[in-house]
Amino acid sequence: MVNHHGTAGVPILDILRGSKLQNVLVIVTRYFGGILLGTGGLVKAYTDSTKEALNKAIVVEKILQRQYEVEVPYSYNDKIVYFCKNNDYKIIDTKYEENAKLYIAVKNEIASKFEKDMQDISNREASIKIVINEFYA
C-alpha cells in the first residue's frame, strides 16, 4: 500500500496562507484512492483545486466594528439617520419605544468621532452605549 500522508492538508494550507485570506475553509473529497496519481499527482490535484476554488470565490471583507445603541428623543431621529447615511456609519436596526433607539455599526478607528457627532447632533441628549464589537461586511 502506498502512503500518501502530507499530500492534501499541508499543500492546501500553504495555498491558503499565501492567499492572505482569513476564516477560509477548504473541504477536499476524494472518491478514488489516488494510487494512479502518485504523491506528486495528488499534491498537484489538491493545490490546483484549491487555487481554482479561491479564484472563483467571492471575497467578503469584514471589519471589526462597534455596534452602538443610540437612544434619542424622536425630534433627533431623522437628523441622525440622515447624518449616518451621509457618513461612514451603518444603521443596523431601529426600535421605536419611548425614545428612538438606533443600532449603528461604526468602524473602531472612528468610534470617538462618532460619539462626538451623536452628541453634537442631539444637543447632548443622546444616550450612547456600546452593545457589541463584531465583524461586519
Residue 26: CB partners within 8 Å, gap ≥ 6? 12, 16, 50, 53
DSSP line for 68-133: EEEEE-HHHHHHHHHHHHTTTEEEEEEEESSSEEEEEEEEGGGHHHHHHHHHHHTTT--EEEEEEE
**What sign does the dihedral 87-88-89-91 (CA atoms) show?**
positive
pLDDT: is 31 or 89 the higher one?
A: 89
Q: Which domains does the chain have, with CATH numbers?
A: 9-56 (no CATH), 63-136 (3.30.70.240)
Average pLDDT taken over every residue of the chain: 89
Give CA–CA dist 9/39, Å, rounded.
13
pLDDT tens column, 27-77: 887 776 656 777 788 888 889 999 999 999 998 888 889 999 999 999 999
What average pLDDT does range 132-137 have in this prediction? 82
